[in-house]
A and B are shown apart, each in its own frame.
Chain A
Amino acid sequence: MKRMILFTGIIILALMWRGEYVAIAQTPTADEVNAVAEELYCPLCPGLRLDVCELKVCEDMRQEIAERLAAGQTPEEIKAYFAEQYGPKVLGAPEKKGWGWLVWLLPVFLAVGAILAVLWWWRQRFRGDNLLLTAAPVVGDIAVDEEDLARVEQELRRLEEE
């Protein structure tokens, strides 16, 4: 009988220890919570990351991250939940879906447009077909007319005489 009680006790202790071990293993560390929190933003303070925000609501949100990690959710699932709950602004960047794509792609379109515009201007500026002959004399790469040139030469002669 004593052996039976001892055996049962050992098994209960082992199960309790195992349960506690599992609970400890499932409790996320502060670093794991912060790894998710630093990719989210406070819904109330513009531009402030969730891991550094000291507002009560952000404390509560970090607590919720810990609970969701413990429940086995992935960081992506947690971020999606917060985006649904508080709006996409908590992600700190537009979502890569729907109209969010417009914000991501617009700078690319504008950059390509700007490059094309510069290339077009360059081509127009120096294309032979679009250049017309001019009788104006050139000094270096500046075109000057006869009158200006005569005045400069006159000024130079006057300086030499002085």
Chain B
Amino acid sequence: MSVQEQRVSVTSSRPLWFYGVMALSLVVLALLTMALIRSQQGQVSSGPAPDFVLETFEGETLRLSDFRGTPVVINFWASWCLECYREAPLLEQTWRRYKGQVMFIGVDYVDTLEPALEYIDRFDITYPNGMDKGNRISDAYRIQGVPETFFIDRNGMILGVKIGPLEHDELEQWMQRLLQQE
């Protein structure tokens, strides 16, 4: 059994790059945590409505904030969404009835042009509709699917959101609430 002198290591100060790598790792971890938290959040259901620019199928460009002073109904839909077919005639009918008092905007989510235009023709939709290019609007509103409808008061604040197809009485109640809001 040998017994000998041995050298043992001692702690020394760490180099600068070590702290750089640690800081970078923490930043990445923080970004991943933020992304995870964001993915777990539901749709925006209160507070100021995220502003957006939409290019309509007619080639016009509209901005949500341009309608400040008028209540707005934003409906997310898609031509492949069968539930959207249920509420499409009701939305058009209600738009025609409240035209001038309430603005309607249709946002086409993850769709292709031809079926989208067929959908518009089929229900003779006359309020402005356009494709959500790059999913920027649906990401801003954090929609969970389609159909989904946001009700924005005349001050640009989200009054509420409806997930799924709207029914006649329900939409009528929303119209009254939007018009009563100062």
Q: Which of B63-71, B127-135, B152-160, B172-180 contacts A (4 or more CB under 8 A)?
A: B127-135
Chain B contact residues: helix, strand, loop or mixed: mixed
A43–B21 CA distance with the chains assembled, in angstroms:
35
Number of A-B residue pairs with CB-CB distance less than 8 Å in the complex they form: 88
Per-position binary interface string of chain B over residues 1-45, scored 1 when its CB falls under 8 Å from any chain A CB and 0 otherwise = 111111111101011011011001100100000000000000000
Query: Do the beta carbons of B115 and A60 come within 8 Å of each other?
Result: yes
Chain B residues lying within 8 Å of A87, measured Cβ to Cβ, are 134-136, 139
B112 located at the interface, meaning its Cβ lies under 8 Å from any Cβ of chain A in the complex = yes
Known A106-B28, A113-B17, A117-B18; contact A57-B112, beta-carbon cutoff 8 A: yes
A120 and B14 alpha carbons, distance in the complex (Å)? 9
Asked if A159 CB lies within 8 Å of chain B CBs, one says no
- Chain A residues whose CB sits within 8 angstroms of the CB of B21 once the complex forms: 110, 113-114, 116-117
Name the interface residues of B100-130: CB closer than 8 Å to any CB of A: 110-115
Interface check A133, CB cutoff 8 A = yes
Q: How far is the CA of A131 from the CA of B12 in the complex (A)?
A: 11
Does B80 lie at the interface of the complex (its beta carbon under 8 Å from any beta carbon of A)? yes
Which chain B positions have C-beta within 8 A of A149? Answer: 3
Contact of B12 among A109, A130, A138 (CB under 8 A): A130
Chain A CB within 8 A of B78 CB: yes
Contacting pair A137 B3 (CB below 8 A): yes
Bound Cα distance from A132 to B5, whole angstroms: 10
Residues of A within 8 A of B3 (CB): 137-139, 149
In A94-146, the 8 Å CB interface with B consists of 106, 109-110, 113-114, 116-117, 120, 124-126, 128, 130-139, 143
The 27 listed contacts between A and B (C-beta, < 8 Å) are A43-B110, A44-B110, A55-B80, A56-B80, A57-B111, A60-B79, A60-B115, A64-B114, A84-B133, A84-B134, A87-B135, A87-B136, A106-B28, A110-B25, A113-B20, A113-B21, A116-B17, A117-B21, A120-B18, A130-B9, A131-B10, A132-B7, A133-B7, A134-B5, A134-B6, A138-B2, A138-B3
B interface residues with partner A (beta carbon < 8 Å): 1-10, 12, 14-15, 17-18, 20-21, 24-25, 28, 78-80, 110-115, 131, 133-136, 139
